[in-house]
Amino acid sequence: MKKILITGGAGFIGAHVVKHFVKEYSEHQIINLDCLTYAAEPKNLSDIESLENYKFLELNINNAKDVDDVFKKYEISHVIHLAAESHVDRSIDNSIDFALTNVIGTVNLLNAAKNNWIGKRDHLFYHISTDEVYGSLGLNGSFKETTKYDPKSPYSASKASSDHFVRSYFNTHNLPVVISNCSNNYGPYQNEEKFIPTVIKSLIDRRPIPIYGKGKNIRDWLYVHDHVLAIEKIFNNGSIGETYNVGGGYEISNLDLVYKIIEMYVDLYPNKFNYNDLISFVDDRKGHDFRYSIDSSKIQSELDWSPKMKFEEGIKNILGALGESEEVYEEEIIDKATAISGSGPGYIFYFMESMLKSCKEIGIDENLSKKLIIKTFLGSAELAKFSEKNFEELKKEVTSPNGTTEAGLKTMADNNLGNAIILGIKSAYKRARELNND
Ligand SMILES: NC(=O)c1ccc[n+]([C@@H]2O[C@H](COP(=O)([O-])OP(=O)(O)OC[C@H]3O[C@@H](n4cnc5c(N)ncnc54)[C@H](O)[C@@H]3O)[C@@H](O)[C@H]2O)c1
């Protein structure tokens, strides 16, 4: 049995890696070590937390003794090291945490492996890194594994340093290591401070979409699950001491990316609002790398990996999931907030419940009717056009014995009430939480 320590498993990529390994390798023990910074979201792991081959440890890799104790207590045989401070903008404001976690934390793990793995050649220290260590490209060319390191931001400098330490432990101590350098990931669970979640959140809230400079910087994007599959291939079959570049093969400028997401968002949640007006150019990031491009031919030919998810499909998955999460949101609201029905936002619960009831009466499946309602909430327009009066009329129509749900939905769309309703729901939800001291 392998005892696999995954660091940073409550973060964006880490959570996907942990879940995949726990589910696919029930014969191995998976130990997730994470100190739960702002970037962690433990609830993303709730579906595996009771599984026998999974254990979570809330610990900081900056503490050498704690790390060494974990290696001893759990007889760690393999490491997949993802824990890091990962946001470039934060590294510009405060580099210390990046030096501590990304460099010192990595060295602590390397030392624990070195000291506890004497004579073990079947063990593995797998270090996950970024393509940003290679610096910035012009319009042509791609990063190869042999490209000279030229990090430009404190984040990439700290990751480059950690890569060098990992290689040095291979050369000096014969530690069995492997490294991969990956391009920008996107997908479910990503923290809102990162670019694609920021764009999507801005569309939902209809607030400015901040774009650095003129939006001409080019990034290569990889769907997170394809990264997980690359990690699995490297973990199982990568050659010791080697580096593998992993990229999505999908390059796009930041501005074109925003246009694309807007187009897809409106396709999914049709409405008349002009989202392009939200685009807002802000001062360029200091030391902003112009272009990243990854040559993944080594992992493709040696380990038979290639990215499977088409960019449009990946984005569609994230946008489609918005409807789902609003559905959960709504259920929580109805459960917790009936206490305040009768007051302003209380109409909304009455309204929503009536809508659901009407749907049921005319035989529409509950899940589908919820999705329809949510989609309408997200897809309608202006709060300014909302008035108590037409809301009352609408409620009457929807809940009257002769009213049909479809007519109700149409009236709601025609009267541009969706935004008002979703805002009402949000404020009512807040009030309900306050009432419940929750
Ligand atoms: N996100 C990307 O696009 C991308 C691309 C290439 C490489 N990477 C690398 O992949 C790894 C994971 O990236 P991510 O985007 O999932 O990061 P993330 O910021 O979402 O998650 C990092 C996780 O590490 C944990 N952590 C931070 N400091 C810690 C410490 N001192 N001790 C223990 N846990 C700590 C955090 O709590 C969090 O759960 C990082 O090493 C990053 O450099 C990320």
What CATH number did the domain enclosing 179 receive?
A: 3.40.50.720
Which two tokens mark 398? 């929807």
What is the reported pTM? Answer: 0.79
Domains in the chain: how many in total?
2
**Residue type at position 304:** D
- Residue 280 lies inside a defined structural domain of this protein: no
For ligand 1, the distance from its centroid to the CA atom of residue 295, given in whole angstroms, is 23
Tens of pLDDT along the chain (438 residues)?
999 999 999 999 999 999 999 999 999 999 999 999 999 999 999 999 999 999 999 999 999 999 999 999 999 999 999 999 999 999 999 999 999 999 999 999 999 999 999 988 899 999 999 999 999 998 999 999 999 999 999 999 999 999 999 999 999 999 999 999 999 999 999 998 899 999 998 887 778 999 999 999 999 999 999 999 999 999 999 999 999 999 999 999 999 999 999 999 888 777 677 899 999 999 888 888 889 999 999 999 999 999 999 999 999 888 877 655 544 344 444 443 333 333 333 445 555 665 566 556 556 666 666 655 554 443 333 333 334 444 455 445 444 433 334 444 444 444 444 444 444 444 444 444 454 444
**Which range of residues forms the domain containing residue 344?**
321-433
For ligand 1, the distance from its centroid to the CA atom of residue 372, given in whole angstroms, is 36
Q: Is 132 a catalytic residue?
A: yes
Strand partners, 343: 341
pLDDT at 356: 64
Question: Same domain for 339 and 234?
Answer: no
Q: How many residues are given for the chain?
A: 438
Cβ(34) – ligand 1 distance below 6 Å: yes
Question: Same domain for 132 and 59?
Answer: yes
Q: Comparing C-alpha atoms, which of 90, 160, 107 is closest to residue 130?
A: 160
117 exposed, middle or buried (CB, 10 Å; 0-12, 13-18, 19+)?
buried
Strand partners, 220: 251
- Residue 424 lies inside a defined structural domain of this protein: yes
Rounded to whole angstroms, the Cα distance separating 238 from 95 reads 32
Rounded to whole angstroms, the Cα distance separating 357 from 404 reads 11
Cβ(82) – ligand 1 distance below 6 Å: yes
Question: Same domain for 58 and 134?
Answer: yes
50 exposed, middle or buried (CB, 10 Å; 0-12, 13-18, 19+)?
exposed
- Residue 243 lies inside a defined structural domain of this protein: yes
Residues 321, 325, 331, CA angle at the centre, nearest 5°?
Answer: 145
Question: Same domain for 229 and 127?
Answer: yes
Q: How many other C-beta atoms lie within 10 A of the C-beta of residue 290?
A: 14
Give the DSSP letter of residue 84: -
Question: Same domain for 65 and 140?
Answer: yes
Q: Which residue has the tokens 């809230």?
A: 205
Which two tokens mark 313? 């499909």
- Residue 346 lies inside a defined structural domain of this protein: yes
For ligand 1, the distance from its centroid to the CA atom of residue 331, given in whole angstroms, is 32
| Residues 6 or more apart in contact with residue 240 via CB below 8 angstroms | 124, 170, 176, 177, 178
Cβ pair 411, 394 in contact under 8 A: yes
Give the DSSP letter of residue 150: -
Which two tokens mark 72? 């001893």
pLDDT at 46: 92
pLDDT at 405: 40
By DSSP bridging, strand 177-182 and strand 78-81 are: unpaired
Rounded to whole angstroms, the Cα distance separating 406 from 359 reads 9
Question: Same domain for 144 and 226?
Answer: yes
Residues 424, 425, 427, CA angle at the centre, nearest 5°?
Answer: 65
Question: Same domain for 68 and 176?
Answer: yes
Cβ pair 129, 159 in contact under 8 A: yes
What's the distance, CA 128 to chain centroid? 17
Exposure on the CB side of residue 367, measured as CA atoms within 13 A:
2
For ligand 1, the distance from its centroid to the CA atom of residue 37, given in whole angstroms, is 10
Strand partners, 281: 211
- Residue 20 lies inside a defined structural domain of this protein: yes
Query: C-alpha distances in angstroms, 413 versus 1, 371, 401?
Result: 58, 15, 21
Strand partners, 128: 180
What three-state secondary structure class fits 29?
A: strand
- Residue 239 lies inside a defined structural domain of this protein: yes
DSSP labels, 349-404: HHHHHHHHHHHHHTT--HHHHHHHHHHHHHH---GGG--HHHHHHHHHHHHSTT--
Question: Same domain for 293 and 364?
Answer: no
Question: Same domain for 296 and 342?
Answer: no
Pocket test for ligand 1, best of 5, 6, 7, 13 (most atoms within 8 A of CB): 13
What three-state secondary structure class fits 154?
A: helix
pLDDT at 273: 79
The residue whose C-alpha atom lies closest to atom 5 belonging to ligand 1 is: 184
54, 134, 155, 169: the catalytic one is 155
Question: Same domain for 79 and 101?
Answer: yes
Rounded to whole angstroms, the Cα distance separating 398 from 81 reads 54
Question: Same domain for 379 and 420?
Answer: yes
Q: pLDDT tens, 227-271? A: 999 999 999 999 999 999 999 999 999 999 999 999 998 887 776
Q: Is 226 a catalytic residue?
A: no
Atom of ligand 1 nearest to the CA of 62: 31
Q: Is 295 a catalytic residue?
A: no
Question: Same domain for 326 and 346?
Answer: yes
pLDDT at 305: 98
pLDDT at 420: 43
- Residue 262 lies inside a defined structural domain of this protein: no
For ligand 1, the distance from its centroid to the CA atom of residue 102, given in whole angstroms, is 9
Cβ(57) – ligand 1 distance below 6 Å: no
- Residue 197 lies inside a defined structural domain of this protein: no
By DSSP bridging, strand 218-223 and strand 251-253 are: antiparallel
Query: C-alpha distances in angstroms, 20 versus 35, 129, 245, 262?
Result: 21, 19, 21, 31
Cβ(181) – ligand 1 distance below 6 Å: no
pLDDT at 269: 73
The residue whose C-alpha atom lies closest to atom 18 belonging to ligand 1 is: 11
